[in-house]
């Protein structure tokens, strides 16, 4: 599965792994893939600590950082500093929404501490003002060779700045028109993410979206995302013209991940029909396991989810509880994952996943070859 993009990036397999866990970034890159750290939840200071740790453990390998600068969000035109913007947005969160969020949690027996309450007002990296310092931190690390934007075309001056520092830019899209905007802005790698994907995604399925984006932006390389958790699925992506796979859900299910055993058990139990595209955590439709939290925000009698990034300021308390009180929060936890969750049977070592995918990929391409040979006899 070695594609031209592998040589451009300097990796063995075109397997890009999005994860919030630095240990997974290191394990993937050391196994021949390319680890990408999701930065949205880190302050610049925390991100510096994470990247320093990665640098020290990843050897000669490289890695990426994923930021979130949405194309549209509350306060985007305010032209404020990060602190000013946070203050303005905090004041925009209705008390009704905070009260409702806390009620859902207390109704489910999730303890609420003063610290939890405070965490509801964190803005995190959901805006250009808060993502830009993350980019600055990332660019100080020479082994960090790719910055990806999860939700929109990165600002043109940011792209130029990253290029001037000798690094590449990637961006996710859910339609050919969005891919065209990315390519026109100078994005180096387009990630076409089908509606099957965990987290923020559109509605067009991978099998349809991938070849449309490949055709739209050729010769810009395209990574296929959404529904990839096996080597056969990577073979399908490459048959459709992608140069590699951008994957996320699988890395929740590796030994190196920080996800709790309760969360991983929920993923093993879930079928593909147990996920839902919900605005209840981030304010934009993101795929996750359906549970009492997502259902509560769907109910028309309850407060409607706010826009991005306001809703995450409300849901932050539930996100924190997912980690701090895994048993108590099992029915209201933040469990972002794609439809590929239906394939998950167990927690594996990261290196074992990469090896399995390579093997499955070869089996799939062998199957196609045998069919061609049988047909030509």
Q: Which is nearer to a second copy, 52 or 180 (CB)?
A: 180
Q: In this structure, how many other beta carbons lie within 10 angstroms of the beta carbon of residue 47?
A: 24
Q: Which is nearer to a second copy, 95 or 376 (CB)?
A: 376
Q: Could you tell me the smallest distance in angstroms from the CB atom of residue 106 to a second copy?
A: 31
Tokens encoding 267: 């993923």
Q: Could you tell me the smallest distance in angstroms from the CB atom of residue 234 to a second copy?
A: 9
What residue ranges in the chain does DSSP mark as E strands? 15-19, 34-38, 63-67, 144-149, 168-173, 189-193, 199-200, 222-225, 244-247, 275-278, 286-289
Q: Which is nearer to a second copy, 139 or 207 (CB)?
A: 207
Q: Which is nearer to a second copy, 81 or 369 (CB)?
A: 369
Q: Could you tell me the smallest distance in angstroms from the CB atom of residue 245 to a second copy?
A: 11
Q: Which is nearer to a second copy, 202 or 309 (CB)?
A: 202
Look up tokens 């509560």; give the residue.
296
- Residues with Cβ within 8 Å of 355's Cβ and at least 6 positions away in sequence, in order, are 31
Q: How many residues does the chain have?
A: 377
Q: Which is nearer to a second copy, 81 or 367 (CB)?
A: 367
Torsion of CA 139, 145, 148, 153, to 10 degrees: 70
Classify residue 359 by its DSSP letter.
H
Residue 116 · residue 317 · CB < 8 Å: yes
Q: Could you tell me the smallest distance in angstroms from the CB atom of residue 357 to a second copy?
A: 13
Q: Could you tell me the smallest distance in angstroms from the CB atom of residue 206 to a second copy?
A: 4
- Residues with Cβ within 8 Å of 235's Cβ and at least 6 positions away in sequence, in order, are 1, 360, 361, 364, 365, 368
Tokens encoding 230: 């096996």
Q: How far apart are CA 354 and CA 64, in angstroms?
A: 18
CA angle 366, 368, 372 (to 5 degrees): 115
Q: Could you tell me the smallest distance in angstroms from the CB atom of residue 36 to a second copy?
A: 21
Q: Could you tell me the smallest distance in angstroms from the CB atom of residue 147 to a second copy?
A: 27
**Would you tell me which residues interact with a second copy (CB under 8 A)?**
1-3, 175-177, 194-196, 202-209, 211-212, 226-228, 230, 232-233, 235-241, 271-273, 338-340, 342-343, 362, 364-365, 367-369, 371-372, 374-375
Q: Could you tell me the smallest distance in angstroms from the CB atom of residue 212 to a second copy?
A: 6
Q: Which is nearer to a second copy, 154 or 176 (CB)?
A: 176
Burial of 10 (0-12, 13-18, 19+ CB in 10 A): exposed
Q: Which is nearer to a second copy, 148 or 214 (CB)?
A: 214
């Amino acid at each position: 599965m070695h594609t031209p993009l592998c040589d451009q990036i300097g990796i063995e397999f075109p397997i890009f792994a999005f994860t919030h866990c630095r240990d997974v970034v290191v394990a993937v890159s050391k196994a021949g893939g390319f680890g990408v750290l999701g930065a949205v939840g880190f302050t610049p200071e925390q991100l510096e600590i994470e990247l320093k740790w990665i640098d020290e453990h990843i050897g000669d390998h490289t890695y990426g950082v994923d930021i979130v600068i949405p194309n549209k969000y509350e306060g985007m035109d305010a032209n404020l500093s990060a602190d000013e913007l946070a203050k303005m947005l905090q004041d925009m969160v209705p008390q009704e929404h905070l009260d409702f969020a806390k009620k859902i949690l207390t109704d489910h027996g999730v303890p609420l501490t003063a610290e939890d309450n405070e965490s509801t007002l964190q803005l995190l990296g959901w805006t250009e003002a808060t993502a830009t310092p993350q980019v600055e931190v990332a660019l100080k690390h020479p082994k960090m060779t790719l910055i990806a934007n999860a939700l929109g075309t990165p600002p043109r001056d940011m792209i130029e700045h990253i290029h001037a520092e000798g690094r590449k830019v990637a961006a996710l899209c859910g339609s050919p028109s969005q891919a065209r905007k990315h390519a026109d802005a100078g994005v180096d790698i387009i990630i076409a993410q089908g509606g099957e994907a965990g987290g923020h995604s559109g509605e067009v399925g991978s099998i349809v979206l991938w070849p449309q984006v490949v055709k739209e932006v050729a010769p810009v390389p395209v990574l296929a995302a959404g529904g990839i958790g096996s080597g056969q699925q990577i073979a399908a992506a490459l048959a459709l013209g992608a140069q590699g796979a951008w994957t996320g859900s699988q890395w929740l299910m590796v030994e190196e991940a920080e996800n709790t055993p309760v969360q991983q058990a929920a993923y093993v139990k879930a079928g593909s029909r147990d996920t839902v595209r919900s605005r209840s955590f981030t304010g934009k439709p993101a795929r996750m396991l359906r549970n009492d939290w997502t259902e509560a925000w769907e109910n028309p009698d309850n407060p409607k989810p706010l826009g991005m990034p306001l809703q995450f300021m409300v849901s932050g308390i539930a996100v924190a509880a997912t980690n701090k009180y895994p048993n108590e929060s099992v029915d209201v936890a933040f469990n972002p994952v794609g439809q590929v969750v239906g394939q998950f049977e167990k927690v594996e070592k990261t290196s074992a996943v990469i090896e399995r995918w390579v093997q499955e990929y070869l089996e799939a391409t062998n199957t196609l070859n045998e069919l061609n040979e049988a047909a030509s006899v």
